[in-house]
Amino acid sequence: MQKKILVTGGAGFIGSHIVDTLIQDGYAVVVVDNLSTGNKANLNPKAKFYEIDICDKKVEKIFKIEKPELVCHQAGHINVRYSVENPIFDAKHNIIGSLNILQNCVKYKIQKIVFASSGGALYGEAETIPTPEIYPTQPVSPYGIAKLSVENYLYYYFKIYGLKFTALRYANVYGPRQNSQGEAGVIAIFAEKILKKQQLIINGNGKQTRDFVFVDDVVNANILGLKNNKTGSYNVGTGVETDINQIIQKLVQITGIRIKEKHQSAKIGEQLKSCLSFAKIKKEFGWRPRFNLDKELKKTIKWFRQKYKMTT
C-alpha cells in the first residue's frame, strides 16, 4: 500500500516541488492550498487537490476522508515585512492555521509532521555566524515569533500526545516557481525586474547578507524529515553568506542586462546578517547542501525567462 501524505501549501513554490518528489518516490499525495500565493499550474496532476485555507474548520473533513499517515506543513503567510505591518493577520495564518492542522494530526493519529519553519527570522541578529540551532531564538519580526510559537506547540503536541515532528528552519530559499509577488524572495523579485528591465529598489546599502539555499536542497531535507523518526528542529542552509549587492551582480552577469539601482531606507525589522549552520542536520540526517548558487541562479533565470516568454 502507498503511504499517504497530506501537503499543506502544495501548490506553492516549495510545496509543489515537495509534492513532485513524493509522487516520484511512490507516495499518494493530498494537497491543501488556498491559492493565495500558490498556483494551480504548479500542481502535480497525480495529487488530489483541495482548495481550502488551513484556518478553515472544514480541513477536518479532509483528514477524515483521506486518512493521511504523514503531514508536510508548508502553508502559511511568508511575507516578513507585511507581518511587521499586520501582526494579527500573520498570527491568524501562521499560528491559528497551524493549530488547526495540529489538532487534526492528533485526532486522526498522524505518524509524523514536518513543519516549514524559519532560520534567520528565529535567531534575530545573531552574533554567531553560521548560526547553530542552540543559539538563543530572539525573533525581531511577528513572522519569526509566529514560527517559533508553532515550534513550541509542536513540542507540546509531541510531549503530551506523542506526535512526532521535524521543524525545518529554512534559510532564504530560491529557485523555479518562486512567486515574486506573494512570497517576496529577493532573488525572484530581482530576477523578474531585471528581465523586465525595471529599476531595482534596494533597502539600505545592499550589504545585508543572507544564506541562499536552492529549493531542491530544501525538498531533500523534507523527504529525509518525513522518513526519519527523529524529533526536533533543524537548520536548512548552506553556511555561506552572500550580500544583496553580490546577488544583483550575479543576476546582471547571467542575464547580460544592466539595470539602474535605487537605494532607499532600510526596512524596520529587517536583519543585517543571516547565515545558518547545517552541522546538526548533516550529523543526524546525512543532509548537506548539494547545489551551487551560481549554477542554480542560471537555472532560476531560465525558468523566469520561460515564464515571461523572454528571449533576452
Cα separation, 251 vs 249, whole angstroms: 6
Cα separation, 305 vs 187, whole angstroms: 14
Cα separation, 70 vs 282, whole angstroms: 23
Q: Considering 27, 123, 143, 157, which one is annotated as catalytic?
A: 143
Q: Which residues sit opposite 213 in a β-bridge?
A: 173
Sorted by where each starts, the structural domains of the chain and their CATH numbers stand as 4-173+213-236 (3.40.50.720), 176-210+240-274+291-307 (3.90.25.10)
pLDDT digits (tens, 9 = 90+) for 88-100: 989 999 999 999 9
pLDDT digits (tens, 9 = 90+) for 159-185: 999 999 999 999 999 999 998 875 558
pLDDT the model gives residue 182:
53
DSSP 194-221: HHTT-PEEEETTS--EE-EEEHHHHHHH
- DSSP 3-state of 49: strand
* CA-based nearest residue to 143, from 83, 75, 74, 54: 83
pLDDT the model gives residue 121:
87
Q: Is 234 a catalytic site residue?
A: no
Q: State the pTM of this model.
A: 0.95
pLDDT the model gives residue 184:
59
Cα separation, 14 vs 96, whole angstroms: 21
46 touches 54 (CB < 8 A): no
Buried-state track 245-265, b at ≥16 Cβ within 10 A, e below 16: ebbbebbbebbeeebeeeeee
Cα separation, 12 vs 40, whole angstroms: 9
* Spans in the chain with pLDDT lower than 50: 311-312
